[in-house]
With several copies, the nearest count.
Chain A
Amino acid sequence: MTEMPLHEGGLAIGCRGQASVDSEAGEVFPNADCKSSCSLEEIARTLRRHIVTMIAAAGSGHPGGSLSAVEIVTVLFFRLMRHRSYDPNWKQRDHFILSKGHAAPLLYAALAESGYFPTKELITLRKIDSRLQGHTDRAMVPGVESTAGSLGQGLSFAIGVALACKLDSLDSRIYTLLGDGECDEGQIWEAAMAAPHYHLDNLTAIVDRNNQQIDGWTRDVMNTEPLGEKWHSFGWHVIEVDGHDIGQLLSAFEEAKQIKDKSSVIIAHTIKGKGVSFMENNLKFHGTAPTQEQLEIALRELA
């Protein structure tokens, strides 16, 4: 295994595994320290550095769709979600279900920075004896809630978790991150029909609306527009935001929390490959690792 610089920002280190009580909300935010000790923007940049670094080390992987969803995941893991890195199966936790499993590097980065496992493990991504499988495996990595890689399955899984929380009278919130290309899958619409039918107001889906899938722009490959109207007609409360604007994301999640009796979807308009100039909107970097040279440029841009 090559030794690679991991560019640990150290930003989130102070937060790891230390639960603190947000007295206002009366809720436990294990990562509440982040709110003061480091900005979400800084954390986002750290996650991006992890992503490009680990994919470069692996020699394969999916930078584009990992980078586009960084702010979404940052806001959830380092501000909004109740979770405990020292107790990943904590019954009262909020749940994050990654449906677009090829964004595994993003989730691994967020988990490592949250203290679920050492950030230096990130570099083992996709290597034969690593826990960090190319697509997430829930049985292997603490904090990974779902096994993914075949698209279209996460929302159904999230409904199951949301139903269980209701049955157990838990007020946990369930978040699931979907790709926009992934919304081609019929299973997404089966699930989209079911969630409001079951009145799952504890469920929020986020669509990473980066307008690209593998074969091209979504409007050319399989047009999903008007995407918001589709979700609306399936009974969802729809919120559209700039998915790189942390303020907009925070208030969107807050709005979703207030909606009762139905599920909410946040359509987060993003740029695939966001943060690395030559990866932005570049189809090639959906599923290609940066070379060592490209990595260095990327890290400079993300410094």
Chain B
Amino acid sequence: MPQEMSTRKAYGRALVELGEKNPDIVVLDADLSMSTMTHMFAQRFPHRFFDCGIAEQNMIGIAAGLAASGKIPFASTFAVFVPGRCFDQLRLSVAQSQLNVKIVATHGGITSGEDGFSHHAIEDLALICALPGFYVLVPTDAIETTQMVRTAAVTPAPFYIRLSRPSTPVIFDENYHFVLGKAVTLRQGNDAAIIAIGIMVSRALEAAKHLAQEGIECRVVSMPTIKPLDEEAILQSAKETGAIVTAEEHLKHGGLGSRVAQVVAQHYAIPMDFVAIEDTYARSGKAEELLQRYGLTAPAIEQAVKSAISRKQVHHS
């Protein structure tokens, strides 16, 4: 495994691997197969690949019909178009129909960069988590992506897996084992916990390293399954550290932070802070420039950790 690889590339490869093993795997795309990497599957298994053209709603309906007939459809496009362009189809034809459809959306977040806000998926998690029955996953790296795709293929339920465009650091080694619904503690620490997803995990680790130099020991938890949440891991972090910061490439509303906040508030109220995109759209720019501009950085996490720690029990004295 190279040091860096995009999660979508790992997805393309995993699909081919699955396709070899299981003839029921079928793949759909909406005229973006070169970018979502489903073209790898299309080339190898042309008869099990369906390009739906630029018609995301129809793609989801077709996937549902295929699933109802025993196929295991993987449907891909950019995260900004699914769920956004076909939410009602995901709702009725997949979630309410309880069908075994796998949505793998690439170009999540703002790191799709220069295309601008029409192409920045900053609200997909808010939407997809509003669909009862869906598993919602965000991998940390290419290795985890592969395992998630395999897991989705053998778990009969609707899945949403959110990938990103750029190459990102490979964090796990080949021995890593993804477990559906389980958080992964990447660093120990009891002063605060940083719970992160996707590209923010490596930034969380970086922040923790810096904070350790200042004597603040942070636990770093990656939460690859956004739904259902690993409530146990969250509550353990809450109890053992007393302060939680979440970090995600998503709006503050409706994503990881909002989901963790509800668990915490309902079971073990402690101060939190949220590293996420405030209520605004981003502009065109290079991925790294945008992450800086919209506060998705290690320093932003460090600041949030300090803020949460400063609020520990103050008002309970």
Q: Say if the two chains contact directly (CB < 8 Å).
A: yes
Partner of A221, one of B31, B59, B119: B31
Specify the chain A residue showing the minimal Cβ separation from B292.
Answer: A128
Interface residues of B in 65-94 (CB under 8 A from A): 65-71, 73, 80-81, 85, 88-89, 91-93
Chain A 185-203 interface mask (CB, 8 Å, partner B; 1/0): 1110011011000100000
B290 to chain A minimum Cβ distance, whole angstroms, is 8
Looking at B13-21, B110-118, B209-217, the stretch in contact with chain A turns out to be B110-118
A134-B116, A150-B80 known; A157+B55 contact, CB < 8 A = no
Check A153–B92 contact: CB distance below 8 A.
yes
Residues of A contacting B275 in the complex (Cβ-Cβ under 8 angstroms): none
Asked if A167 is at the interface of the complex by the 8 Å CB criterion, the answer is: yes
* CB atoms of B284 and A127 under 8 A apart: yes
CB <8 Å contact, A222 and B81: no
Q: Given contacts A58-B114, A101-B118, are A215 and B69 in contact (CB under 8 A)?
A: no
Cβ-closest chain A residue relative to B73: A160
Give the complex CA separation of A139 and B281 in angstroms: 12
Interface string of A87-127 (1 = CB under 8 A from B): 00000000001000100000000000000000000000011
Known contacts A127-B285, A222-B51, A167 near B26 by CB under 8 Å: yes
Q: Per a CB cutoff under 8 Å, which of B26, B29, B62, B119 touches A215?
A: B29
Measured CB to CB, the nearest residue on chain B to A223 is: B53
CA distance A194 to B284 in the complex (A): 34
- Select B115's contact among A134, A145, A193, beta carbons within 8 Å: A134
Complex contacts, B69 vs chain A, CB 8 Å: 160-161, 164-165, 168
Q: Which of B50, B52, B53, B115 has the most CB of A within 10 A?
A: B53
B117's contact among A60, A128, A137, by CB below 8 Å, is which?
A137
Q: How far is the CB of A166 from chain B (nearest CB, A)?
A: 9
- State the Cβ distance, B36 to closest chain A Cβ, in Å: 10
| List of A residues within 8 angstroms of B143 by Cβ | none
Whether B71 contacts A150 by the Cβ 8 Å rule is no
A163 at the A/B interface (Cβ < 8 Å)? Answer: yes
Min CB distance B75 to A, Å, is 10
Q: How far is the CB of B149 from chain A (nearest CB, A)?
A: 21
- Whether A135 contacts B118 by the Cβ 8 Å rule is yes
How close is A118's CB to chain B, nearest CB, in angstroms?
Answer: 19
Which residues from 26 to 40 on chain B have a C-beta closer than 8 Å to any C-beta of chain A? 26, 29, 31-35, 39
Q: Any chain A CB within 8 A of the CB of B96?
A: yes
Contact among A59, A126, A132, A187 with B61 in the assembled complex (CB-CB below 8 Å) = A187
A128-B285, A147-B93 known; A156 vs B51 contact (CB < 8 Å): no
Nearest CB on A from B201, distance (A): 25
Provide the bound-state CA to CA distance between A113 and B296, in Å.
38
**Counting CB contacts under 8 A, is A290 at the interface?**
no
B116–A160 contact, CB under 8 A? Answer: no
Given contacts A127-B285, A137-B96, A222-B53, contact A148 B118 (CB under 8 A): yes
Interface status of A158 (Cβ within 8 A of chain B)? yes
Chain A: interface size category: 35 or more
Determine which of B39, B60, B92 lies in contact with A149 in the assembled complex, contact meaning CB atoms within 8 Å: B92
Contact with A along B109-131 (1 / 0, CB 8 A): 00001111111000000000000
Residue A152, interface by CB 8 Å: yes
Q: Does A242 contact B (CB under 8 A)?
A: no
A85 interface residue per 8 A CB criterion: no
B114 and chain A: residue at smallest CB distance: A126
Q: Does A21 contact B (CB under 8 A)?
A: no
In this assembly, does A155 line the interface, its C-beta being within 8 Å of a C-beta of chain B? yes
A160 and B67: CB pair below 8 A? Answer: yes
- A138 in the interface, Cβ–Cβ < 8 Å? yes
Q: Are B68 and A138 in contact (CB under 8 A)?
A: yes
**In the complex, how many angstroms separate the beta carbon of A74 from the nearest chain B beta carbon?**
24
Other-chain residue from A150, A161, A181 in contact with B92 (beta carbon distance below 8 A): A150
Taking CB as reference atom, which chain B residue is nearest A128?
B285
Complex Cα distance, B60 from A58, in Å, reads 33
Q: Which residues of B contact A128 (CB under 8 A)?
A: 283-286, 289-290, 293
Measured in the bound complex, the distance between the Cα atoms of B281 and A133 in whole Å is 12
Q: Is A162 an interface residue (CB 8 A)?
A: yes
Q: Does A241 contact B (CB under 8 A)?
A: no
CB pair B114 A156 closer than 8 Å:
no
Closest 9 CB pairs of A and B: A160-B65, A156-B61, A149-B118, A222-B53, A164-B69, A128-B285, A184-B53, A190-B58, A190-B55
User: What are 12 inter-chain pairs, A to B, with CB distance below 8 A?
Assistant: A128-B290, A135-B116, A146-B68, A150-B81, A150-B85, A157-B64, A163-B65, A186-B57, A191-B61, A193-B53, A213-B53, A221-B31
Q: Which residues of A contact B (CB under 8 A)?
A: 58-61, 97, 101, 126-128, 130, 132-135, 137-139, 145-165, 167-168, 181-182, 184-187, 190-191, 193-194, 198, 213-215, 218, 221-222
Query: Can you name 11 extra interface pairs (CB under 8 A) apart from A160-B73, A190-B55?
Result: A60-B115, A97-B65, A126-B116, A133-B117, A135-B119, A137-B116, A150-B88, A158-B65, A160-B66, A164-B65, A185-B55
